[in-house]
Amino acid sequence: MDTDDEELLRKIYSTQNFSLVTRNSTHQSFLPNLGYLINSKDVNTFTQYFEYLMTDPTWNPYARFLIVVERLQNDELRVIFDELLRLHVNNALIINGTDDAHLFSYNPFDNYACGKYYTEVIRFGLCSQATQNLYPNKLVTGLRNCTFKASLAHRPPFAIDPLKAEGEKTILGTEEYILKVLSEKEQFNVISNYSYDSDTYSSVAPNMSLSGSLLMLRNNESDFAFGGMMIVAKRAQALTWLCGYHDYNDELRFSVRRASHIPIWKTVYIEFDVTVWLLLLLSFIVYYAMVIYLLQPKDKGSVALELLENLLTHSREIQCSMSIKYILIIWVWFAYLINTFYQSSLVSLTTDPSMEYQVQTEDDIWDYNYKPCFCGALRKYLSTEERRDSSKVPHIVNEDVEGCNNPVEELTTNSCS
């Protein structure tokens, strides 16, 4: 962080104990972080650039941090630890970058502080003389006597707001009950706040910054939120989740009606596609013109009807010479083949009915003019969060559909459809 000191990196590389990936603090890294070695010019530089590490999708506040500050005063230690506490970095070790380097740490869980504050700075003395464990387990007192702020959404059966429940609330939501069991087991207290709006879908920007209702977690306004939260990949990267029995998904699925059987009356013509019917009509016209030319009849309409009867496998005698009859035999044979194929396909469709076309792609939804049932909050989330190549999808998502104004109506409409 704003330092030109390369000696530290050279010494680490020379030990050949482990690999080290160097980076700039203001640029994202997509490599998993097993630990952080931070070299900073001074305290102001550290506090200015440290939060940029949170822009990484692989940001890991639970890793071990070794922070070397070249110019560090004793009264500036709390400035660094306050910043680490705000971002929930607990396993941190600070070294002043002088020849007589000293080691400093802190423990926000000591004396039942519950990760919310610390009372003193831990001093390990000279770095060259340190022999104790510099990264001990700090959660030795557990969560006993801690008080956490929980944001809940009225979303039965996950969580039930007493003010919105019909009648007197006698049971807990499933997640409320799980939290109650955990709190009794670990002996901590929970202050519940039901003002959390789960219908507002928070977005995660490319720099991992949050907007919407989940921003209160990043700002430490609430310690945790639950109540049927939709978890996608970006949210899981930006925050820490105890998923439990919920799905971890990053996909959008459209549920459409299963294709039905083709109506019986359609089996009359679906044996052949449009091209076959057009070719059959063209063959009839060409053969009719050829017969008219050869016979030169006075009643041309009767010839057309006789050829059509042949096409329907009805026998018909046409008075003509033997040479012309040979030509007519070709038409009779053609009519026989066409009828054989047609009747064979008709029997197949009768014994094993076909299905209508099954809608299965987003383009199909657009082509068949389907209107997806999205609640307003989900439509807003999809229109801002999802980036798709097809220009049709945003129009589909943004259409208003009656009976899909909120999640409850959405579930009711989809289940009844």
pLDDT at position 148 is 92
pLDDT at residue 410, as a whole number: 67
Residue 217 has pLDDT above 90, yes or no: no
Q: Among the listed ranges 122-126, 253-257, 362-366, 393-397, which one has the minimum average pLDDT value?
A: 393-397
Closest to 88 (Cα-Cα) out of 65, 120, 121, 111: 65
Supply the pLDDT for residue 262: 81
Most confident of the ranges 74-83, 316-325, 384-393: 74-83
pLDDT of residue 169: 63
Q: What percent of the chain has pLDDT over 90?
A: 17
Distance CA 46, CA 62 (A): 19
**Does residue 86 register a pLDDT over 90?**
yes
DSSP string over 349-407: HHHS--BPPPP-SHHHHHHTT------HHHHHHHHHH---S-THHHHHHH---TT-SSH
pTM of full prediction above 0.75? no
Q: How confident is the model at residue 82 (pLDDT cuts 50, 70, 90)?
A: very high
More confident residue, 182 or 413: 182
How far from 124 is each of 69, 72, 127, 131, 273, CA to CA, in Å? Answer: 16, 16, 8, 9, 85
Rounded Cα gap, residues 304 and 285, in angstroms? 9
Residue 29, phi then psi, degrees to nearest 5: -125, 135
DSSP string for residues in 248-302: ---------PPPPBPPGGGGGTTTS-HHHHHHHHHHHHHHHHHHHHHH--S-HHH
Q: Specify the pLDDT at position 184.
A: 92
Interval 351-357 mean pLDDT: 79
Tell me what the mean pLDDT of segment 61-67 comes to.
93
Question: What does the pLDDT average to over 310-333?
Answer: 75
End-to-end CA distance of the chain: 58
Higher pLDDT, 410 or 326: 326
- For residue 139, what are the CA distances in angstroms to 30, 142, 143, 410? 29, 5, 8, 44
Give me the percent of the chain exceeding a pLDDT of 70: 83
Residue 407 has pLDDT above 80, yes or no: no
Average pLDDT (375-388) is 62
Task: Kindly list the domain boundaries of the chain, sorted by start residue.
Answer: 7-129, 147-238, 264-351, 362-416
Q: Write down the pLDDT at residue 43.
A: 93
Confidence at residue 390, expressed as pLDDT on a 0 to 100 scale: 42
Q: Who's near 318: CB < 8 A, 6+ residues apart?
A: 295, 303, 306, 325, 328
Render pLDDT for 259-299 as a digit per residue (tens, 0 to 9).
888 877 777 777 788 888 888 888 888 888 888 887 777 77
Tell me: cis bond preceding 157? Omega within 30 of 0 counts: yes
When the pLDDT of each residue in the chain is averaged and rounded to a whole number, the result is 80
Model confidence at 198, pLDDT cuts 50, 70, 90, reads low
**Whole-number pLDDT of residue 376:** 67
- pLDDT confidence of residue 396: 55
Find the range with the poorest average confidence among 46-50, 124-128, 251-255: 251-255
CA distance 343 to 271: 9
142, 114 Cβ separation under 8 angstroms: no
Whether the pLDDT of residue 245 is over 50: the answer is no
List of residues 6+ apart from 105 with CB closer than 8 A: 92, 93, 94, 121, 122, 124, 134
At 399, the pLDDT band (50, 70, 90 cuts) reads low
Q: How confident is the model at residue 120 (pLDDT cuts 50, 70, 90)?
A: very high
**Arithmetic mean of pLDDT, 184-192:** 90
- The values of phi and psi at residue 169, to 5°, are -75, 115
255, two tokens: 């549920």
* 66 φ, ψ (degrees, to nearest 5): -120, 110
Beta carbons within 10 angstroms of residue 374's beta carbon = 21
* Cα–Cα distance measured from residue 28 to residue 209, given in angstroms and rounded to the nearest whole number: 13
State the amino acid at position 167 in one-letter form.
G
At residue 358 the predicted structure's pLDDT band, cuts being 50, 70 and 90, is: confident
Task: Determine the average pLDDT of the residues in 320-343.
Answer: 80
> How do beta strands 210-211 and 224-226 pair?
unpaired
The pair phi, psi for residue 147, each rounded to 5°, is -125, 120
**How does residue 45 score in pLDDT terms, banded at 50, 70 and 90?**
very high
CB-based contacts of 3, cutoff 8 Å, min separation 6: 39, 40, 41, 45, 70
By CB atoms closer than 10 A (0-12, 13-18, 19+), residue 349 is middle
Compare 36 and 21 and report the one with higher pLDDT: 36
**392: confidence class by pLDDT, cuts 50, 70, 90:** very low
User: Which pair of tokens denotes residue 50?
Assistant: 């440290």
pLDDT surpasses 90 at 386: no
Residue 251 banded pLDDT, cuts 50, 70, 90: low
Q: How many CA atoms lie within 13 Å of 41's alpha carbon, on the beta-carbon side?
A: 9
Reply yes or no on whether the pLDDT at 338 is more than 80. yes
pLDDT band at 395 (very low <50, low <70, confident <90, very high): low
Mean pLDDT value of segment 216-238: 79
